[in-house]
Amino acid sequence: MVLIAAAVLIMQGATAQQTAAKLPAAGTSAIIGKIDGIEVEAMVQGPAAEITPLQVACVFEYTEGDFTNPPALPAQLNGMLHLDKALNGIITELRRSGKFSGHAYETLLLTPAKGSIAAKQLLLIGLGDRNKFSADIMYTVGSIGMREALRLGVSSYAHASDLKDAGIDSPTATVAQNVLKGAMDAYRTQVFLQKNNMDFFKPLTRITLLAGPAFFAPSGEALKEVIASYNN
């Protein structure tokens, strides 16, 4: 019985190692396709490390220890915790003090100190009460991110939903699809306005959606479906 138990443990350990080995490393990326000339990229990266003119990061309303205590992801996997630490805890302090509450669709644009994070600017978008979260709101979150990117005149930007970091068991595919749909519908609205001489913006070349290693592949497949539907 001892030998059998030991063999089972060895097999389980080997399986876990094989599974971990198959997960993509940080920095792994793929251009999934294009919509209206805009490249759609999926990347394994945290919002603190992504090199981009504009990083979009999503946060819930403050609850004590929400970046560090379960069900939040462990520190080594928690991109939002890394982002907050890189900014000396400013995201936690903003929400705790009520200066930025994180209400649904609330926004705050930060220009971090050079060298603190890789992005030049950081846009926080509130998701509201974590206990009332619905993947449907990510459509509007996606549109907010796109409109701010166009307003700022950046040529590309990155989006991090950060739901898994917060311990939300969200539907990965639906979230990724809703973000991209919201972004592209907002973009097409601004294109329409520009054609009617009611707006002017610098062309956008790429939108990058960040994902953890375990969610890179399913996010990519989900994005392919959206790209195909918009190109029909």
One-letter amino acid of 135: A
Q: Are 203 and 155 in contact (CB under 8 A)?
A: yes
**Per-residue pLDDT tens over the stretch 161-181:** 999 888 899 999 999 999 999
Asked if the model's pLDDT at residue 18 lies above 70, the reply is no
Cross-strand partners of 156? 206
* Euclidean distance between CA atoms 103 and 62, whole angstroms: 9
Please state the domain count of the chain.
1
pTM of the model as a whole: 0.89
49 domain residue, yes or no: yes
**Per-residue pLDDT tens over the stretch 117-130:** 999 999 999 999 99
* Euclidean distance between CA atoms 96 and 109, whole angstroms: 17
Q: Are 99 and 164 in contact (CB under 8 A)?
A: no
Cis amide leading into 203 (omega within 30) = no
pLDDT band for position 76 (50/70/90)? confident
* Euclidean distance between CA atoms 10 and 51, whole angstroms: 40
Strand-strand pairing, 206-211 and 29-35: unpaired
Q: What's the CATH number where 156 sits? A: 3.40.220.10
18 domain residue, yes or no: no
164 domain residue, yes or no: yes
9 domain residue, yes or no: no
At 162, is the secondary structure helix, strand, or coil? coil
